[in-house]
Amino acid sequence: MEPQEQTHGSDGDDCSVSGFDSAEKVIMKWDATASEEAREKMIFTDPQEVKLYLHAVDEIQRHVSSPGELESRASSAIQIAMARLEDEFRNILVSHSSPINSDSLMSSSSSSSHLEVDEDASNNNNEEDDQEEETDLLKRTGSSSSSGSATVRLPTGRGSYSRSTSSIREIELIPIDAVVYLSWIARRMVSAGYLRECIQVYGSVRKSAVDSSFRRLGIEKLSIGDVQRLNWEALEQKIRRWIRAAKVCVRVVFASEKLLCEHVFESVGAVNIHEACFMETVKGPAIQLFNFAEAISISRRSPEKLFKILDLHDALIELLPDIESVFDLKSSDSIRVQAAEILSRLAEAARGILSEFENAVLREPSRVPVPGGTIHPLTRYVMNYISLISEYRPTLVDLIMSKPSRNATDTNAPEMDFSEVENKGPLALHLIWIILILQFNLEGKSKYYRDAALSHLFVMNNVHYIVQKIKGSAELREMIGDLYLRKLTGKFRQAATYYQRAAWVKVLYCLRDEGLRTKGSFASGVSRSALRERFKSFNALFEEVHRVQSQWLVPDSQLREELKISILEKLSPAYRSFLGRFRSHIESGKHPENYIKITVEELETEVLDLFEGLTATQQHQRRRSE
């Protein structure tokens, strides 16, 4: 309990003067400007000296308004006493102002939505233990439980004032006996008119401690301009670190500073002094913390930033209730407003980036055909991108509120019939729109192939990749829907059909009967010269198709095998039948090996070489090995 002020009767003027003289001596004894011993020692290391000094201050304070010489002496003594108490106040704060220990920071950052609460004592502690602890504290501070003066109200517990909610974790920053001393000093400084000095000392020292905790968490002092000048790779790392650190800063650092302010200043009596001290301590660090997120929210928009912006948005929206709880004071309105505005700008940035991504996909300008008709890098990038978008579905469903729209004056954009997907939400419609404009762009790129068959193979490969990516993501498949997925499946199967027509129709045309039979040529009615030319044409065409299409690529193994089987289902029977009908006419003549160069089995083996992406050298090496 706080040292009790001395009381005097109405007829005790002589006693009062005597008490003043004694009090003045105590004050002068600890005048650091006049005594070497006073400069080297601190009062608040000795509970008995604390008791004597505070009694002396209270006694002097009673005489500040006394008439005559006593008032002058009292004013002088109070100035000396306040200077001393300010030094003591600062010393106690500095002695206990180390950064929050690493264990507290790590345990607090280990969970994103719920921070584990460490118990200060085992479950076996009982109320009797708590009372003994409080009694020990009172003894150490040189007070008696029977004192009649006002006391500093302290929470119960094993020498700790920490508390926790589901996410906020307020911990003990300064030992409770030191908090008691700080509160006693603060009450006297404020009573003597030194409120501003008290707030400045408190805020200066505690802000340094907060800054030290920030450094441990890896939070740098970066201006908005500094953040915007960083390259994206460095910024990604800082965003990840910021998300972890921000949770600790709000839920542990700031919350604990607020609680400490309340306990140091709650008995002081001045209105809202704990609010002023809290803001003096954390306003600068809070602005520093949120300036980083603000810089990201107003930075130049580009597709690669979307997911980190969504991470920031999710972290901030999760923190917002805690921010509102910790900064619930009138003086901290600006902090709450800043956090809410950043959240709004992050949401707007996400919507803007999605729109810009759609435009970038539509207008991606590359005109160099990818070798072998394989999957275009744009297709991989876009499908990986929207797969990631689907993973952020819970956030984006709330942020994307309008359907995609096509600029009526833009003739270089596809039409979209929303009636086909009328039951879909805005986010799903945006994903379908992205897939549609990706196909539109790929159709344009397919025209840069000189070979029509390769053009169709390119479309087949890319649309098939789109289908597989959708099927591979449960979230994406649910949003796109099976109806649109079937439409895409039909698209790549149609492209496969177009490819086979363009690539093999001339080869199969060689295996027709028309033009081979003539009347009066020889008994069979078959023109041997025409037949020989037909075999030569077939051999040349098949050899060329094999040479070229062995260099083409179908990267999906299942699709590749299905395509080969489909080709053989048409080619093998046709060639077998043609050989069956006309082999004898060639073999009965001269040099049949010049015309029948390949058996059905060899043809089937050759077809199996297709779409492997083999160079001419690799094809040659494979033939030699066989």
- Please spell the DSSP secondary structure of 126-157, one letter per residue: -HHHHHHHHHHHHHHTT--TT--S-------S
Q: Write out the two tokens for 176.
A: 């409770």
When mean pLDDT is compared across 36-40, 111-115, 339-343, 580-584, the lowest value belongs to: 111-115
Of 14, 211, 253, which Cα lies nearest the Cα of 115?
A: 253
380/333 same-domain check: no
Give, as one character, the DSSP assignment of residue 392.
Answer: T
Residue 53: what are its φ and ψ, rounded to 5°? -65, -45
Output the CA torsion sign for 351, 355, 360, 361.
Answer: positive
Residue 216 belongs to domain with CATH number: 1.20.1280.170
Question: Does the pLDDT of residue 48 top 80, yes or no?
Answer: yes
DSSP 164: E
Determine contact, residues 129/145, Cβ cutoff 8 Å: no
Q: Would you place residue 150 in the very low, low, confident or very high pLDDT band (cuts 50, 70, 90)?
A: very low
For residues 486 and 553, membership in a common domain is answered with no
**Claim to verify: residue 86 and residue 180 sit in the same structural domain:** yes
CA 560, CA 443: separation in Å to the nearest integer? Answer: 21
Return the minimum-mean-pLDDT range out of 328-332, 481-485, 585-589. Answer: 585-589
Structure confidence at residue 391 (pLDDT): 93
Q: Please check whether residues 531 and 499 belong to one and the same domain.
A: no
What's the chain's length in residues? 626
Average pLDDT on 6-23 reads: 64
What is the C-alpha separation between 117 and 107, in angstroms, rounded? Answer: 9
Task: Domain count for the chain, please give it.
Answer: 3
Range of the domain at 256: 15-99+166-352
CATH of the domain at 548: 1.20.1280
pLDDT above 50 (res 147): no
Distance CA 548, CA 619 (A): 10
55 in Cβ contact with 5 (< 8 Å): yes
Same domain, 267 and 369: no
Q: Which residue, chain included where needed, has tokens 């003994």?
A: 132
pLDDT in the model for residue 64: 80
Among 452, 471, 505, the domain boundary falls at 505
Residue 164 CB neighbours (<10 A):
17
Task: Find tokens 């505690």 and name the residue.
Answer: 206
Distance CA 461, CA 375 (A): 6
Q: Is 556 exposed, middle or buried (0-12, 13-18, 19+ CB in 10 A)?
A: middle
Distance CA 552, CA 555 (A): 10
The mean pLDDT value for 163-169 works out to 69
Average of pLDDT values for 452-457? 97
> Which is it for strands 169-170 and 163-164: parallel, antiparallel or unpaired?
antiparallel
Name the domain boundary from 352, 387, 413. Answer: 352
pLDDT of the residue at 287: 94
287 in the same domain as 390 = no
Residue 175 lies in a domain: yes
Q: Quote the tokens at residue 450.
A: 């000189």
The whole-angstrom separation of Cα 370 and Cα 384 is: 19
Among 4-8, 197-201, 571-575, name the one with the lowest average pLDDT.
4-8
In this model, does residue 524 exceed pLDDT 80? no
**What is d(CA 73, CA 63) in angstroms, rounded to the nearest whole number?**
9
Look at residue 361 and tell me whether its pLDDT is greater than 70: yes
pLDDT at residue 482 in the model: 93
Confidence at residue 1, expressed as pLDDT on a 0 to 100 scale: 60
Average pLDDT, the chain: 84
For residues 284 and 419, membership in a common domain is answered with no
Which of these three, 471, 505, 539, is where a domain ends?
A: 505
Burial label, 535 (beta-carbon count in 10 A; 0-12, 13-18, 19+):
buried
Give yes or no for a contact between 8 and 63, defined as CB atoms under 8 angstroms apart. no
Residue with tokens 């590359």: 366
Q: Let me know if residue 135 belongs to a domain.
A: no
The number of C-alpha atoms within 13 Å of 480 and in the hemisphere containing its C-beta is: 30
Tokens of residue 542, six digits: 């098949």
Q: Tens digit of pLDDT for each residue in 50-104?
A: 999 999 999 998 888 777 778 889 889 999 999 999 999 999 999 988 777 656 5
Is residue 483 a contact partner of residue 490, using CB atoms and an 8 Å limit? no
- At residue 601 the predicted structure's pLDDT band, cuts being 50, 70 and 90, is very high
**pLDDT reported for residue 447:** 95
Report, as an integer, the average pLDDT of 592-611. 92
| CA dihedral over 368, 370, 372, 373, signed as positive or negative | negative
Most confident of 74-78, 553-557, 606-610: 553-557
Residue 132 maps to a domain? no
| Digit-coded pLDDT (tens) for 170-197 | 999 999 999 999 999 999 999 999 999 9
Predicted pLDDT of residue 19: 83
**Which of 32-41, 366-375, 380-389 is predicted with the least confidence, judged by mean pLDDT?**
32-41
d(CA 296, CA 318): 18
Q: In angstroms, how far apart are the furthest CA atoms of the chain?
A: 158
3-class secondary structure per residue, 459-506: HHHHHHHHHHHHHCCHHHHHHHCHHHHHHHHHHHHHHHHHHHHHHHHH
Name the band, by pLDDT with cuts 50, 70 and 90, for residue 145: very low
460 with 329, same domain: the answer is no
Check residue 10 and give its pLDDT. Answer: 46
Q: Is the pLDDT of residue 166 over 50?
A: yes
Is the pLDDT at 108 greater than 70, yes or no? no
Q: Which one-letter DSSP state was computed for residue 510?
A: T
552 pLDDT more than 60: yes
pLDDT at position 2 over 70 = no
Read off the pLDDT of residues 309-346 as tens digits, 9 standing for 90 and up.
Answer: 999 999 999 999 999 999 998 889 999 999 999 999 99
Phi, psi of 472 (to 5 degrees): -80, -5
pLDDT at 5 over 60: no
Are 422 and 325 in the same domain? no
Q: Is residue 127, in this structure, part of any structural domain at all?
A: no
Find which of 56-65, 135-144, 467-476, 519-528 is predicted with most confidence, using mean pLDDT. Answer: 467-476
Predicted confidence (pLDDT) at residue 132 exceeds the cutoff of 60: no
Alpha helix segments (H runs only) across 151-254: 176-191, 195-216, 224-229, 232-248
Instruction: Determine the pLDDT at residue 83.
Output: 94
User: Does some domain include residue 160?
Assistant: no
Q: SS3 of 274, please?
A: helix
Q: What's the pLDDT at 133?
A: 32
Backbone angles phi, psi at 72, to 5 degrees: -65, -45
Candidate from 210-214, 415-419, 607-611 with smallest mean pLDDT: 415-419
148 belongs to a structural domain: no
390 and 258 share one domain: no
Same domain for 400 and 369: yes
Token representation of residue 476: 């994406």
Whether the pLDDT of residue 40 is over 70: the answer is: yes
Residue 358 lies in a domain: no
How are the residues of the chain apportioned to helix, strand and coil, as percentages rounded to the nearest 5? 70, 0, 30
Q: Which two tokens stand for residue 477?
A: 């498949």
Spatial separation of the C-alpha atoms in residues 1 and 181, rounded to whole Å: 10
Residues 490 and 432 in one domain: yes
Locate 256 and state its tokens. Answer: 């604990």
Question: In this structure, are residues 19 and 8 in contact, taking their beta carbons and an 8 Å threshold?
Answer: yes
CB 8 within 8 A of CB 16: yes
Query: Helix crossing, 557-587 with 528-549: angle to 10°?
Result: 160
- 225 closest CA partner among 305, 291, 313, 287: 291
Burial of 317 (0-12, 13-18, 19+ CB in 10 A): middle
d(CA 377, CA 379): 5
